[in-house]
Each structure stands twice: as structure tokens, then as C-alpha cells.
Structure 1
Amino acid sequence: MTEPASRPPETRHPHWVYDHGTEPDPRFTLANERTFLAWARTVLGLLAGAVALHSFQVPTSEGVRDGVVLVLVLTAILCTVFAMIRWARVERAMRERRPLPAFSAGFILAGALLLIAVLLGVALLF
């Protein structure tokens, strides 16, 4: 019976995450990936709202509408960056058996959504 061909060591990116610690339980890694994908769905929703607001010419002053669209797009960009950083920090913490990092991105997103809601509410009233 012959030995199976040995495979070269797996190279995973980013190295600053995967080259540290030991492999965590796959369930935790998959949960971390699902959380990242939930953030990606949030970003898609923000971008869809920006496109809809811009395309359908919601009856407000053009400057306010453009301002809200800009805030939506900037929030989507920030959420994307925060999601990537959060995924990497959680993955590395699990690999190094350290406590998980604090959850601050959610508070930033909530503040941005509150600002957007207030701007839209004011725009629609006047």
C-alpha cells in the first residue's frame, strides 16, 4: 500500500492572523465568518438604501437628499472596514486563546443610523 502524496503546507492569508497561535475549533471560526457575512449584508442594505434614495428622487431638497446618500455610502465604507478588522481581530484572539476584543463597531453603526434617520426625518418634515 502506498502512502498518499504529501501536500505542501497550506498558505492562508492574511499572514498576520493565520501565522499565530493554533487552529481553533472550526465551529468558532465558522461563527466568526457568519458574523462577517452579516456585516456584509448590512453594507449591502446601506448601499441599496443610498441607491434607492438617489434614484427615486425622494421629495426633499436635493442638498439634504445628497447629504443623506453620502452619509449612507460613507457608513457602508466604514462598516466594511470595521467588519474586516473585527473578523481578523476575533480570529487571531481565538487562535491565541485570548479574550475576544470589545465590540465597538456596532455602537458606531448605531450612531450613524441614528444620524441618517434624523436627517431623513427632518428632510421629510420640511
Structure 2
Amino acid sequence: MPAEGEDPDPRFTLANERTFLTWLSTSLALSAGGVAMAVVPREIFVPWIRTALAVVLVLLSALAALLAYPRWRHVQRALRLKAPLPPLALAPVFGYGVAAVAVLALVLILIAG
């Protein structure tokens, strides 16, 4: 069964693939951050806060990985149909989620220091 629409300019397809791979590397970085947070020594952070920060980072990691392919597919379809690109609805979740973890970790580092 042939794909609908026309083949997009290869540069756009390759840019879409790079974005897909960036989502996966972001997911890997968030996962590594979550694991690192989970193994921070007890005396640095209160254990339940350390665990909460680790869980948020790993959940963001899973979300990024799970949504990478559907996002790539929707953008590729829009390129083929010469339609507007779909909005990145979860950008605020990732931006605010990572920022919240960073600010809370900074506050805890300053308190512990």
C-alpha cells in the first residue's frame, strides 16, 4: 500500500529523524539523571525527596521515549501531506518538570552545604 501524499524533501525527513534521535538521547539523559539522583548519599538529601526527584526524572525519561516515535510519525505524515506540523503539546511538561527538579535539587544542595 503506497504512502499518502508526496515524498518530502529529504532534508526535512533527515531533520525529523535527527529530532527523533534527540528525543531518545534526551530520554537516556533523563534516565541517567534519575539513577544518579537515586544513589545520592543519604546525608545529602532527605531520602523521600531524593526518591521523588529520581522518580520524576525517570518518568520524564519514559514519557520522552514513548512519545518519540509517534511524534516522528505525525511530523512525517504532515510533511508528506504538506500540512502544518503538529504542536509539541508536552513541551511544557518536560520544560517545567526538569526545571522543577533542578530548582529543588539546587535548594537541597544549598541547605545541605
Deviates more, 1:100-109 or 1:65-74: 100-109
Determine if the alignment matches structure 1 residue 111 to structure 2 residue 108.
Answer: no
Instruction: State whether residues 37 and 50 of structure 2, in contact with CA within 8 Å, keep that contact through their aligned partners in structure 1.
Output: yes
Instruction: State whether residues 43 and 80 of structure 1, in contact with CA within 8 Å, keep that contact through their aligned partners in structure 2.
Output: yes
Distance in 2, Cα, partners of 1:41 & 1:22 = 30
Distance in 2, Cα, partners of 1:116 & 1:20 = 42
| TM-aligned CA deviation for residue 118 of structure 1 | 2.8
Instruction: State whether residues 82 and 105 of structure 1, in contact with CA within 8 Å, keep that contact through their aligned partners in structure 2.
Output: no
Find the counterpart in structure 1 of residue 57 from structure 2: 72
Runs of 4+ with >4 A deviation: none
TM-score calculated relative to the size of structure 2: 0.84
Instruction: State whether residues 13 and 76 of structure 2, in contact with CA within 8 Å, keep that contact through their aligned partners in structure 1.
Output: yes
Residues 46-82 of structure 1, C-alpha deviation per residue, up to 9 Å, x if partnerless? Answer: 1111111222426111100000000000011111223
Quick check: which has more Rg, 1 or 2? 1
Find the counterpart in structure 1 of residue 38 from structure 2: 54
Q: Which amino acid aligns with 1:100?
A: L
- Which one of 59, 71, 79 corresponds to residue 94 of structure 1? 79
Ranges in structure 2 where 5+ consecutive residues have no aligned partner:
none
Distance in 2, Cα, partners of 1:84 & 1:107 = 19
- By percentage of residues, which structure has more helix? 2
Q: Which amino acid aligns with 1:63?
A: W
TM-score calculated relative to the size of structure 1: 0.76
How many aligned positions are there?
110
Q: Which amino acid aligns with 1:20?
A: E
Deviates more, 1:25-34 or 1:104-113: 104-113
**Equivalent pairs: percent with the same residue?**
39
Distance in 2, Cα, partners of 1:119 & 1:33 = 34
Instruction: State whether residues 31 and 57 of structure 2, in contact with CA within 8 Å, keep that contact through their aligned partners in structure 1.
Output: yes
Aligned-residue CA RMSD (Å)? 2.0
| TM-aligned CA deviation for residue 122 of structure 1 | 3.5
Instruction: State whether residues 89 and 101 of structure 1, in contact with CA within 8 Å, keep that contact through their aligned partners in structure 2.
Output: yes
